[in-house]
Amino acid sequence: MVKLDVTLLRYMTRDDFRVLTSVEMGTKNHELVPKSLIHSISSLRSGSVSKILVQLTQNKLISYERGKRFDGYRLTYRGYDFLALNVLRNRNIITSVGNQIGVGKESDVYIASNESGQQFVIKLHRLGRTCFRKVSEKRDYNKSGFKTNWIYLSRLAAMREFAFMKVLFENKSIPIPEPIDCNRHCLVMELIDGKLLNHLSKDDMKCEKDIEILYEKLMNLIIKLSNDFGVIHGDFNEFNIIIKSGTLEPVLIDFPQMISVSHSSAQTYFDRDVNCIVEFFVRRFNYESDFMPCFESIDKENSDKMIQINDVVEQIDDKDIDIDIDFKDLMINNQNVESSSKIEENNEKIVENEMMANIERLELVEDLDSKQSQSQDNYSDESSDRGVSSVATTFAPQQIKEKLQRERKLKDNRLKANKANKNIKGESSAFRRRRKDDLATVNDDLKAYNCERELY
């Protein structure tokens, strides 16, 4: 479990967040982000980048890992929390973070407040916990099909939930908390004064009629979501429903798993939502009712609401920008780094093609020269009889061909050495460490048989 301690946030500088953002951007196409890429994206001095990376690693905002082939830095959930909270602080959404009021299989919930003292709820999505590792199978967050990390999936889940809440709240027909803002995997919403349906007991009910009224309200919410918006909650149970204090008004929470009524598994999720409420009322209040909504009676004409929600997700993605950092400059630098590496690869291919073309041309020249040499020998025999002689000093085509092949081999070896020595941290890279370990193993074996010698 990730413990959120925001004390360090007030002491972090602009450069700290710039380096942290560079690590986040490098994670887009690197599992472990090398120091050289962080330096090029952040556009800071190499010495200051090294110092900041050490501090961030000590504070567990990033982690340094040694892979099988490469070494690099990885962004942690704590560092991702700090990036999101820093943006919300700069937008004057929140100014302080309080106690934790809830924890789930995929999120942590905290209390926060702004300058005027108004309290909010911040929900930090944390996908990838041991109890919920099959999220990629159960949810369709990552539609691209490519393997991705848990932090990126958490960001997609937060944007998806904020989009659902925004559309539902604007309609005013479904009681939900007011969505305030969203950045990365952090969602800010209204604080509801009430308690979970799971904490409700018979003592909280004035009479048995209240149980029947609450049951009908919950079933009507399921029907209204399906008919008016064309969506199914997907996790409609006693842990995702808040009952307001002093009333029996239910408020829905937790929306990232919502699906359209046209989804292939829509009927399965709809029946599961209904059965969760039925079983809870039988177990807690010993109440049974004949009123059970059926999936066949749903009006499926409003399934196009999902298109509107997807548009909201794209708007949030465009808005998800850190205003405290020159994010455009960082993006340009990152694109320049990627484009320069592609240019180098293209140049290598062009040089290699030119070398091959030269070798082929020399082979053709060699064949022509051999034919010409034969004719010149015949001519020299004839001219010697006439007293005519000629002297010419040229390189043989075979010598030129061998020289070009040697140069090509040397260039290939240099390119391999440069690729192996990339992603170096300090004085040793993963390639050099493996070589040193192998030499140390061989030395130990030689010492065991008393036949030591120098290995280099």
What's the rounded mean pLDDT across residues 235-254?
A: 90
- Max CA separation in the chain (angstroms): 135
Please give the pLDDT value at position 128: 77
**DSSP character for 426?**
T
Rounded to 5°, the CA angle 17-163-74 comes to 30
The Cα–Cα gap between 451 and 449 comes to: 6
Please give the pLDDT value at position 191: 94
Tokens of 281: 């009322």
Could you report the per-residue pLDDT of 411-453, keeping only the tens digit for each? 888 877 776 555 444 445 666 777 787 788 888 777 777 766 6
Mean predicted lDDT score pLDDT of the chain: 78
SS3 287: coil
Active-site annotation, residues = 235
Could you report the per-residue pLDDT of 119-147, keeping only the tens digit for each? 999 999 988 776 555 555 555 555 555 55
Continuous segment of H or E residues that includes residue 190: strand 186-190
The model's confidence at residue 215, banded by pLDDT at 50, 70 and 90, is very high
The Cα–Cα gap between 176 and 167 comes to: 11
Rounded to 5°, the CA angle 342-45-79 comes to 85
The Cα–Cα gap between 287 and 284 comes to: 8
Tokens of 240: 């995702």
For 100, phi then psi, to 5°, come to -85, 130
Please give the pLDDT value at position 337: 45
Task: Give the distance from CA 261 to its chain's centroid.
Answer: 29
What's the rounded mean pLDDT across residues 137-164?
A: 74
For residues 406, 407, 408, 413, the Cα torsion angle rounded to the nearest 10 degrees is 90
Tokens of 23: 């690590």
Residues 6+ apart with CB under 8 A from 352: 408
Q: Locate tokens 């993605």: which residue? A: 317
Whole-angstrom CA distances from 300 to 86, 94, 228 are 42, 40, 9
Q: Given a cut of 90, is residue 252 above it in pLDDT?
A: yes
Q: Which amino acid is at 100?
A: Q
Residues 6+ apart with CB under 8 A from 297: none
The model's confidence at residue 229, banded by pLDDT at 50, 70 and 90, is confident
Please give the pLDDT value at position 237: 92
The Cα–Cα gap between 355 and 403 comes to: 11
Asked if 18 and 44 touch (Cβ cutoff 8 Å), the reply is yes
| pTM metric for this prediction | 0.67
According to CATH, what is the number of the domain 8-75? 1.10.10.10
End-to-end, the C-alpha distance of the chain in Å comes to: 47
The Cα–Cα gap between 381 and 370 comes to: 17
- In sign, the C-alpha dihedral spanning 142, 144, 145, 149 is negative
Continuous segment of H or E residues that includes residue 181: strand 179-183
Could you report the per-residue pLDDT of 326-351, keeping only the tens digit for each? 444 444 444 544 454 454 455 555 65
According to CATH, what is the number of the domain 194-298? 1.10.510.10
The model's confidence at residue 106, banded by pLDDT at 50, 70 and 90, is confident
For 286, phi then psi, to 5°, come to 55, 45
Tokens of 350: 């062009």
Could you report the per-residue pLDDT of 279-319, keeping only the tens digit for each? 999 999 999 988 888 888 887 666 556 666 666 656 655 45
Task: Give the distance from CA 342 to its chain's centroid.
Answer: 23
